[in-house]
Amino acid sequence: MRLIGKQEIEDIAVGAALLGTGGGGDPYIGKLMALQAIEEYGPVKLLGVDEVPDDKLIVPSGMMGAPTVMIEKPPSGEEAINAFKSLESYLGEEIYATMPIEAGGVNSLLPFTLAARLGLPVVDVDGMGRAFPELQMVTFYLDGISATPMVIGDEKGNTSLINTVNNVWAERIARNTTIQMGGSVMMSIYPMKGENLKGSGIHNILQLEEEIGKSIRLAKQNGKEPIKEVLQLTRGFELFKGKVVDVNRKTETGFARGTATFEGLENYMKQELTLSFQNEHLIARTKEAVLCVTPDLIAVLDSETGLPVTTEGLRYGARCVVIGIPCHEKWRTEKGIATCGPGYFGYDVEYRPIEELVLEGVK
């Protein structure tokens, strides 16, 4: 156990935005919410997974909806509390701790805001090791843990309790409800015991996010190249360096969908890269080859600062480096690829690990 204060939040926000692969909510909004809560209520206890009792109830908290909506409709924090308390009341059991459902600017930090206000600890674990756009795309689903009962809440004070026959139906019903609630909501989901969490969750994700953010911060202070530090820490690969020349982005069916096109610079002159995203970046390809594809991670970093750029933050003229990172081994199983591989999103390509694609490109 250790305490998370303001500097830790600053670093986690950067690392979470990077692992969020373009999605997971605006990191600036998430950071401000967490910083304000910690200033008002004090530091938050962060527990290692092994410190959680097997019989205690753990409930992840997070945002659902299109990240683009949140820019115009930022959450107050009350939505998360309403959803959390409503689920606790329905279950008739006290919730021991909360945790992030995924890595992302809001979704890694919202649990700290909630925990500070309710006096709860946060567990250093999540269900993705990155961000994905749909509710069933978590390791808990791979291991047969139910997403429901779940509660979602909006800024007006509405809450909706959802019980479904499986996690795919939870995504469908909750997504439609989210659209009616204005395109973004806060949720409490996947209630589980500590024993289930230990076996199914991706451990030490917040620690990794903090290390990534810290490495970028210290690299800039010490005159080092932040992107090189990130690649070393994440075992990642540089895929492309270029300038954003086109962004086609729209919000539909509760997601931010679109493409971004990059014109190559330096070693990538006369090449063009296209990123396709659904909240998160899902596939990076040139006219000649696929460079990286979901469930492996694709992140866009500012070429000067090394800071991550979200899908809603992509702007014409921005000079960026696109990197790829191997996903957690659970996503490379047959069920993992079926759940969030390229075929699920309609891409007519076969999933191949980024290590293979990079090696093939070098040849």
Domain count of the chain? 2
Whether 214 is covered by a domain: the verdict is no
pLDDT for position 360: 81
Kindly report, residue by residue over 194-208, the tens digit of the pLDDT: 999 999 999 999 999
Asked if residue 123 belongs to a domain, the reply is: yes
Q: Would you state the pLDDT for residue 139?
A: 97
User: Quick check: is 212 in a domain?
Assistant: no
Question: Looking at residue 319, what is its pLDDT?
Answer: 96
276-304 core/surface letters (b: 16 or more CB in 10 A; e: else): bbbbbbbbbbbeeebbbbbbbbbbbbbbe
Last residue of a domain, one of 205, 237, 256: 205
Residue 91 is assigned to a structural domain of this protein:
yes
Q: How far apart are CA 349 and CA 320, in angstroms?
A: 25
User: Within this chain, do residues 281 and 311 fall inside the same structural domain, yes or no?
Assistant: yes
Question: Are 64 and 199 in a shared domain?
Answer: yes
Based on the domain organization, do 270 and 193 belong to the same domain?
Answer: no
Residues 247, 335: one domain? yes
Q: Which residue has the tokens 């008002």?
A: 40
3-state secondary structure of 54: coil
Same domain flag for 261 and 174: no
Tokens representing 299 are 């992140």
Would you say the pTM of this structure is higher than 0.85? yes
Same domain, 173 and 280: no
Q: ∠ CA(341), CA(152), CA(88), 5° rounding?
A: 110
Output the CA torsion sign for 83, 96, 192, 5: positive
Within a domain: residue 160?
A: yes
- The answer to whether residue 57 is domain-embedded is yes
CATH number at residue 349: 2.40.390.10
Query: CA 321 to CA 303: how far, in whole Å?
Result: 5
Are 304 and 239 part of one and the same domain?
Answer: yes
> In CATH, what number is assigned to the domain containing residue 29?
3.40.1610.10
Q: How many CB atoms lie within 10 A of CB 335?
A: 12
Question: Which stretches in the chain have pLDDT values below 50?
Answer: 363
Range of the domain at 7: 2-205
Kindly state whether residues 321 and 199 are assigned to the same domain. Answer: no
Domain boundary (174, 205, 236) is at: 205
Q: Are residues 6 and 53 in the same domain?
A: yes
Q: Are residues 199 and 236 in the same domain?
A: no
Question: How many helices (H) and strands (E) in the chain?
Answer: 12, 19
CA–CA gap between residue 332 and residue 62 (Å, rounded): 25
Phi, psi of 254 (to 5 degrees): 85, 10
Enter the tokens of residue 277: 């995203």
In a domain, 79, yes or no: yes
Domain boundary (205, 240, 261) is at 205
Same domain, 184 and 244: no
The strand pairing partners of 61, in sequence order, are 100, 188
Phi, psi of 263 (to 5 degrees): -95, 130
The token pair at 224 is: 């080092």
Assess if residue 213 is contained within a domain: no
Residues 251 and 167 in one domain: no
